[in-house]
Amino acid sequence: MKILIVADLHHPEELAKARQAALKPEDQPLLFPPSQGAFFWTRALRRLGHEVEAFIRSDPALFGARASRLHKFTGRRGLGTLAMALAQRAPRLHPDYRLRNRRFVETVARTRPDAIFLTGGNWVIYPETVAAVKAEFGPAIVYLSGVSPIVFSNAIERAAARSYDLVIVNDHYHGVQWLELGARRMETLPMSACDPDFHHTFELTAAEREQYACDVGFVGTLIPNHLYGERIAALEALRDFDLGIWSVHEVPPALRPYYRGPALGEQMLRVTCAARLTVNTHGDFMRYGGNMRLFEACGVGTFQVADDRPGVAQWFTPGEHLVTYRDHDHLRELVAYYLAHDDERARIAAAGQAHVHAHHTYDQRMARLAALVEEIRAN
């Protein structure tokens, strides 16, 4: 099957580094960096025998080449933020977006995919463009979204819902909302998972242990507050522990004393390995759970304390593969207990790693997704 993934490129610097590294033949041509989930989707789909290409919708068409460095969120408003807000409010008036839509149609005409995987956060590809390529070239349109379409999607994503043959969601109720907006079918299937070739226990050097070691580690985004308020509050409740925070973006003032720097790709995995335990509080917009860290932290063999979300208990057995907390007092209690009980912490971490390597791999996710697409195409 020929698949075209339509996505933003989040970490251009990491892609440049990865292209210089020695990656396996099935990873070439490299379309996304290993710090982005689409890298693992592509890798798994190719291993399953599918052809994969990408259309990077965040690449400018009029105003120069691909952004050369990672965009760092600061939470401050400037001209760039204002320009982005205006573009998102009136995408059809944006000349660069119009040209990107034309290039997208040209890419579909050239590649003739059997399926188009359109990722969430789409501010660029117009609903009429999606409908046009579906009518002219006949691919199955698969939309992959981790958030509620009622709360967090934008107008052009919702307007295109009637063109979606399949919507993939973490949260079943989000899928129901997409059906109400006109999507033909939905499936509850987290697109985050692990790849045992990448997500494994790393042997750290003495310098890495000295640099990364902490009792409680966290890697991820912490701004803006309205999207990550629960995560911020959880980490603030742990400030009297040996807390280490890594983020490619800025962090709130109360957490800056614990900030250690950015971490992406393999460095992020090494940082996670160095912590005695890692805390994973989902973003406020992921009420069901299922972020990348949920599977990655277990994949590298680190003991994980996650917030108590329905999907966590669906995909893991709390107390056996990881532990979950109810509130901040419970979080502090769990952290203190497991820092004092090394054997129990090691046993649960090992069970969590074995569980995700056996049941939550990207190969398994993509095999299920490909089967769904084949079923849709057959009908």
Q: Which 3 state secondary structure label does DSSP give 130?
A: helix
Task: Give 36-64 pLDDT, tens digit per residue.
Answer: 999 999 999 999 999 999 999 999 988 65
- Rounded-to-integer distance, Cα 215 and Cα 274, Å: 9
DSSP 28-90: PSP-S-TTSHHHHHHHHHHHTT-EEEEEETTS-SSS-SS-SSPPPP-S---HHHHHHHHHHHS
Over the stretch 207-265, which tens digit does the pLDDT of each residue have?
Answer: 999 999 999 999 999 999 999 999 999 999 999 999 999 999 999 999 999 999 999 99
Query: Does pTM top 0.85 for this prediction?
Result: yes
Closest CA to 367 of 223, 237, 359: 359
Q: Are strands 51-56 and 140-145 parallel, antiparallel or unpaired?
A: unpaired
Considering only residues 20 and 74, tell me which one the structure prediction assigns the higher pLDDT: 20
Distance of CA 322 to the CA centre of its chain: 20
Q: Do the Cβ atoms of 369 and 189 come closer than 8 Å?
A: yes
Domains in the chain, please, with CATH?
Answer: 2-193+362-378 (3.40.50.2300), 206-359 (3.40.50.2000)
Confidence band, pLDDT 50/70/90 cuts, at residue 78? low
Please check the confidence at residue 72 and state whether its pLDDT lies above 60.
no
How high is the pLDDT of residue 69? 46
Q: How far is CA 24 from CA 16, 33, 47, 76, 197, in A?
A: 16, 13, 11, 40, 11
The angle at the Cα of 155, spanning 170 to 90, to the nearest 5 degrees, equals 135
CA-CA distances (angstroms) from residue 279 to 221, 272, 275?
Answer: 13, 10, 10
Block residue for tokens 């041509």 = 29
At 202-223, the pLDDT tens digits run 999 999 999 999 999 999 999 9
Let me know: does 170 contact 144? Beta carbons within 8 Å.
no
**Side-chain half-sphere CA neighbours of 116 within 13 A:** 28
Residue pair 225/232 in contact by the 8 Å Cβ criterion: yes
